[in-house]
Structure 1
C-alpha cells in the first residue's frame, strides 16, 4: 500500500460520516479500494458504501438525500439540469473515476450470422459495424435486432449509437434499443430477450465465461480513452459540505493512483469480486482487470492494457470537453430541449475548479485548460505542460473540436 498522502483537505469536515452509492461494476473499484484500504479514513471520513440495483435508484437516492453521493454515469450529471429527470435536482461532478471499461457483447447466434457478412473478419471495430449494416439490409424480413444499454443518459448509449452510426446503422430505425440494469444483462442474453448489449465489466466477461456471447468490440476501439463514471453529488450538497467534498475527492484520488498500478490489479480483483460488492467469480473479474481481455470463451486473452484506466493520462480530471462531447451526443439523439447553452450546461456541471483545489492539496499536476480536442492522437502524447495524455482516436477518425462547438452552439443559443 502507498504511504499516507502528505497533504489533506483543509478546514473542518462538516459531515465526517457519509454514504455513497455504487453499482456492482468493476469500475466501482475506486470506492471499494478507498473503503477497504483506508483511504477514506486517512482523510477523515467514515464512509458507508451502498450497493444499488439500477442507475435510476442511484439518481433518485442522491436527489432525495438518501445518499450523499455516488458513482455515476457521466451523462447523468448533465441530464439533471435539463428537466428530463423525474426528480430534478442539479448534480455536479468534480472527479472522473475512470476512462473506458465497457464493451459491446453479442450473442453467439448473432456472432455466427455476422461472420457471413464480414469477408475480412470482425476484428476491426468499424468492419464489425459495417457487417452489422449488411446483415440488417439482407434480413429486413426478420424482426429488428435488440440491443440493451444501461440507462438513456449514459456513455453506453452514446458509444453504442456512435459505433452503429459509423457503420451506417440508424440506431433509432434499424435496431431496437432497450434499457436494462447492468447485473441483468447476462440473464436477458441467456433468455434471448436481447441480441447484444453495451455494458461495463464484469458483465461482458460473465457472458463470455458462460459461453453465451462474444465481445464484439471494446469502447476503447470506438473512442480511445473516452469518459466513463464520475463522482456525482448534488450542487446543494457540495455547497453545504465543501470540506467534506474536498476530503472525498482527495481520498478517491489517492485510491485511484494506487489501483492504477499494474501490480495491484490482482488484489483489486479479489477485493471487488466478493458478495458485498460485485458478487461475481473472481476469475471473471480478473478477465478485464489484469491488462488482458478475453473476447470469446474458446480464444486466448488478448493484450488490452488500456481497458481500465483509473488514474494515468489525467483520467481523474473532469474535462469540460468530455462533457461537451456528451452534450452534443444528447443533442444528436434528440434528448436536449432546444435553446440549451451547451457551454453553460457543461461548466455548471463539470467543476474543474474544485478538482484543482484537491489536486493541489495532493501535490498532483493538473491540466491548465478545461478543453482539449479529441480524435487527433493515435498514441499517447504530451500537452503543452508536458503532461502525458492518452490516445483519443474515434472509430470513424472524426475530430471533435470543442472550441468550434462552443462558438457555434453559443451563437445559436444567443440568437
Structure 2
C-alpha cells in the first residue's frame, strides 16, 4: 500500500538534521513524500507515540527499536531500523566545579577519553558524596557509552556514580542548578551547557567509540511491511539529504535551517559547532575529527554488529537475559537488507556484509561493497577492546566479569 503523507517524530537535536533537510530542501517532496515533522520533548514520548502509531517513523535512539522488540518498553512490539542517521554527535559535559577537580586530578583537557576517565576516577575516589550524571534515556547509546567509559576507567556505574534520566533540553539547566554534576547528550546541548552554564565538555562519543551510531530511522515493523514503497521513498530522500549535509559548503545553510524555533531553537553559531566538529569545550575551540558524520564511510548503514553491541550492554546492566532468541531478536532490528535493496538502483555503495568486528580498523580501510568499493573510517573503543559479534557469548561473559569486579 502506498502512502504519500508520512508523520515523523523528532527531538531537538543535531542528528535530526536529515529528517529536517529532507523536508526543508525538498528531498522528500521529490520522492512524492509529504513529510510532516512533529517535535517532541522526551525520548519516552517518541517511544510511546511511535508504538501507538501516532508517528509513522521517528528519529530514534539507536537501541530503542531493540528495547521495544525485546519487551523492555511499556508498549512493547517489533520495531526496526533500516537506516542510521549518522555517526557520533554526542559528548560528556561536566560542571565547572567538577572540571576544576578533574584538572587538579590530571585531566589534560584534550577530549581524550582515557585521561579524562582516569581523572574522573581520582575525583570519585576522593569525593565525600556520590556524583550524579544525567543521560537522555535508559535504553540510549548515551547511557551505554557513558557506562562503558566509566567502567573501563575504573568507576562503577550505580555504585560510584548515580545515573538519572532527563530529556536532552533539560540537562544544561539541571547542571546549572546543581541537580547533576555532568551529563551525556547529543548536540547542541553540550554546547548550550558551555555557553549558558559555564560547563566543560570532557570527552565525546567519537573518542569513546569511534564511528558508532547514535540515532536511527525507527518504526514499527508492521508499518514497514505495510508500506514498503513509502519506506523506500523516505530512505532515498534521507540518503540525498545526507549527501547534501556532508558537503561543508552547505553547513551554514543547514545550521540556519536547524536553528529555527520549531526545530532546535538555538543560535546558528551554536548549531554550527556540532556540524563542523569545531567544538567549544569551555576553554577554547577544538577540532574533533568525525565528531558528527552524516553520510561518509557508510555512516547510514545499519550494521547488525552495532545492534548486537547495544544488546550486549543491555545484558551487562541487567536489562535483559542473554539467550540465543534475544540475541537474534536484537540483531533482526537493524535491517541492512532493506537499505541495500532501496539504494542499489541508485548505484550507492553499500557493504556486502551485515556485521563487522567493532574496533578492528585502526585506519581507513576499503571493504567489498555493492556497486564498487567503500572505505570505512577507523573505529573502535577507547580502551582498545574489540567486539566480535561472532563471539557474542564470550564478550558478554567478559563484560559480566568486569561488572562483578566493580570496574
Secondary structure of residue in 1 paired with 2:120: helix
Question: Do residues 132 (structure 1) and 116 (structure 2) align?
Answer: no
Matched with 2:59 is 71
Please state how far the C-alpha of 1:115 moved relative to its aligned partner: 1.4
Residue 89 of structure 1: SS of its match in structure 2? Answer: coil
Give the length in aligned residue pairs: 393
Contact residue 40 and residue 47 of structure 1 kept, 8 A: yes
Give the gaps of 5 or more residues in structure 1: 1-12, 410-415
Structure holding more strand per residue: 2
* Match of residue 167, structure 2, among 156, 177, 181: 181
Give the structure 1 partner of residue 376 of structure 2: 389
Q: Indicate conservation of the 8 Å contact 2:13/2:186, yes or no.
A: yes
Deviation at 1:343, TM superposition (A): 4.0
Q: Once the 2 structures are TM-superposed, how far is the Cα of residue 403 of structure 1 from its aligned partner?
A: 1.5
Greater shift, 334-343 or 318-327, is seen at 334-343
The residue aligned with 1:163 is 149
Task: Tell me how large the CA RMSD over aligned residues is.
Answer: 1.6
Question: Greater CA deviation, 359-368 or 90-99?
Answer: 359-368
Is 1:325 aligned to residue 312 of structure 2? no
Q: Distance in 1 between matches of 2:109 and 2:217?
A: 39
Q: Quick one: which of 321, 325, 333 aligns to 1:349?
A: 333
Residue deviations 1:80-127 (CA, integer Å, cap 9, x gap) = 112221111211110001101000000001000111211766653111
Q: 1:284 to 1:243 in 2, by over 3 A?
A: same
Q: Runs of 4 or more off by more than 6 Å in structure 1?
A: 406-409
Q: TM-score, normalised by structure 2?
A: 0.93
Aligned counterparts of 2:289 and 2:314: Cα–Cα separation in 1: 30
Q: 1:363 to 1:201 in 2, by over 3 A?
A: same
The Cα offsets for residues 176-234 of structure 1, whole Å up to 9 and x where unpaired, read as 00000001111111101000000000000011112520100011010111111000010
Which residue matches 1:24?
12
CA contact (8 A) 1:189 1:212 kept: no
Query: What pairs up with 1:234-249 in 2 under 5 angstroms?
Result: 234-249=220-235
Once residues 110 and 376 of structure 2 are traced to their aligned partners in structure 1, the CA distance between those partners, rounded to angstroms, is 29
Superposed CA deviations along residues 227-276 of structure 1, whole A, max 9, x for unmatched, are: 11000010110111111111111111111111011111111110101101
Q: Is the 8 A contact 2:109 2:202 kept in 1?
A: no
1:2-401 pair list within 5 angstroms: 14-118=2-106, 123-139=111-127, 142-296=128-282, 298-299=283-284, 301-339=285-323, 341-385=325-369, 386-401=373-388
Question: Any gaps of 5 or more consecutive residues in structure 2?
Answer: 397-407
